C-alpha cells in the first residue's frame, strides 16, 4: 500500500502531484479541454516506476544547447533544453524522468542555476529537478499558478510580460495556449543571430517553414485571430534566426522570425476568409 510520501505522476501529461496515500481521482490539467484523459481512463505512475522502464537521451543541438528527452517516449513526449550561459545553466521546459545518469551529466556541465517552463503541460517533475540541483529556482508565470499540482518554495511566480534570467536570456509571456504561456528568447544563440525556444506556445509544425498557434493541439481547438495577432506583436521586438520547438526534430533552422510572422499572417487570413 502506498503511503503519504507517494508523489503520483499522471501518465498522460507527466505532471507530478503533491504526496498522497492514494492516487488523485483525476488530473485537472488533463481534464481541461486543452489536454485529454485517455480512452482507458485516468492512469498514474511514479518516478520510481519510470526509472525502471525508461532512460534519458542527450544530444547537442548547437553549441551551448543540449536536448534531454526520455526513451521510450513518456506522456506528451517533449524534450527539455539545457541552455548554457556564462552566468550558469538554465533548464528550459521539463520532462518527467530524472535519474542518476541525468543528474551526473548535468552536474558535470555545471549544474542548474534555474528552471523555466513554458506552460503547465510541461511542469512534470519540476520540483524533483529543483531539489536535485540545490533547490534551483523554478520560474513560472503567475498567470498559470492554478495549474501547479505540487507547490514548493523553489517556485518563483513572475508577473508582467518579460523577465530577464541572464545576459541575453529573456522570458517572454505570449499567452495564447495558456494565460501565462511563455517562450524563452536566447539572444546569443545561432552565432549571435538569436533563437526562440518556443515549447508549443509557438508550435513548430511538420513543414519547417512555418509554425502554428492553438488553444488545444490534441483537440484541435484554434485560437482567435486577435490572440495570434497579439502573439506576433509581442515577438516583434526580438531578433531570432532559429526556433526550437518542444520535440527533437521540430526546429526552424533559419529565418525563424520571418517564419513566425508569416505563419501568424496565414493563420489570421485563414480565419477571415469564407469557406469555399
Q: What's the pLDDT at 276?
A: 65
In a domain, 201, yes or no: yes
In a domain, 1, yes or no: no
Query: Coil, strand or helix: which one is 81?
Result: strand
Q: How confident is the model at residue 1 (pLDDT cuts 50, 70, 90)?
A: very low
pLDDT at 2 exceeding the cut of 60: no
pLDDT at 274 exceeding the cut of 80: no
Mean pLDDT of 233-260: 97
Query: pLDDT (tens digit, 9 = 90+) per residue, 88-139?
Result: 999 999 999 999 999 999 999 999 999 999 999 999 999 999 999 999 999 9
In a domain, 181, yes or no: yes
Distances (CA, A) of 253 to 62, 82, 187: 11, 18, 15
In a domain, 90, yes or no: yes
Range of the domain at 66: 9-272
Q: What's the pLDDT at 273?
A: 80
In a domain, 2, yes or no: no
CA separation for the pair 241, 152 (Å, rounded): 36
Q: How would you list the strands of the sheet with 242-245, edge to edge?
A: 162-166, 169-173, 182-186, 195-199, 242-245, 251-252
Cell 533544453 locates to 81
In a domain, 4, yes or no: no
- Are 91 and 65 in contact by the 8 Å Cβ rule? The answer is no
Query: pLDDT (tens digit, 9 = 90+) per residue, 123-179?
Result: 999 999 999 999 999 999 999 999 999 999 999 999 999 999 999 999 999 999 999
Q: Count the domains in the chain.
A: 1
CA separation for the pair 125, 97 (Å, rounded): 7
Query: pLDDT (tens digit, 9 = 90+) per residue, 38-84?
Result: 899 999 999 999 999 999 999 999 999 999 999 999 999 999 999 99
CA separation for the pair 86, 253 (Å, rounded): 24
CA separation for the pair 81, 94 (Å, rounded): 8
CA separation for the pair 44, 16 (Å, rounded): 10
* Rg of the chain over all Cα atoms, to the nearest angstrom: 18
In a domain, 3, yes or no: no
CATH code of the domain in which 68 resides: 3.60.15.10
What percentage of the chain reaches a pLDDT higher than 70? 98
Amino acid at each position: 500500500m502506498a503511503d503519504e510520501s507517494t508523489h503520483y505522476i499522471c501518465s498522460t501529461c507527466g505532471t507530478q502531484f503533491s504526496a498522497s496515500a492514494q492516487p488523485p481521482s483525476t488530473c485537472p490539467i488533463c481534464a481541461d479541454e486543452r489536454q485529454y484523459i485517455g480512452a482507458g481512463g485516468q492512469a498514474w505512475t511514479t518516478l520510481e516506476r519510470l526509472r525502471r522502464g525508461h532512460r534519458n537521451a542527450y544530444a547537442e543541438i548547437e553549441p551551448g544547447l543540449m536536448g534531454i528527452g526520455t526513451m521510450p517516449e513518456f506522456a506528451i513526449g517533449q524534450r527539455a533544453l539545457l541552455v548554457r550561459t556564462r552566468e550558469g545553466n538554465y533548464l528550459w521546459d521539463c520532462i518527467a524522468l530524472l535519474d542518476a545518469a541525468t543528474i551526473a551529466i548535468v552536474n558535470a556541465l555545471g549544474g542548474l542555476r534555474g528552471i523555466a517552463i513554458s506552460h503547465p503541460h510541461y511542469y512534470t517533475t519540476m520540483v524533483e529537478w529543483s531539489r536535485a540541483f540545490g533547490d534551483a529556482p523554478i520560474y513560472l508565470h503567475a498567470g498559470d499558478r492554478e495549474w501547479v499540482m505540487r507547490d514548493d518554495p523553489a517556485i518563483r511566480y513572475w508577473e508582467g510580460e518579460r523577465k530577464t534570467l541572464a545576459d541575453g536570456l529573456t522570458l517572454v509571456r505570449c499567452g495564447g495556449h495558456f494565460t501565462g504561456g511563455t517562450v524563452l528568447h536566447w539572444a546569443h544563440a545561432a552565432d549571435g543571430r538569436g533563437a526562440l525556444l518556443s515549447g508549443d506556445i509557438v508550435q513548430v509544425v511538420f513543414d519547417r517553414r512555418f509554425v502554428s498557434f492553438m488553444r488545444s493541439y490534441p483537440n484541435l481547438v484554434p485560437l482567435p485571430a486577435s490572440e495570434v495577432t497579439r502573439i506576433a506583436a509581442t515577438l516583434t521586438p526580438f531578433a531570432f534566426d532559429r526556433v526550437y520547438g518542444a520535440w527533437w526534430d521540430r526546429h526552424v533552422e533559419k529565418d525563424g522570425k520571418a517564419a513566425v510572422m508569416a505563419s501568424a499572417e496565414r493563420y489570421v487570413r485563414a480565419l477571415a476568409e469564407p469557406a469555399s
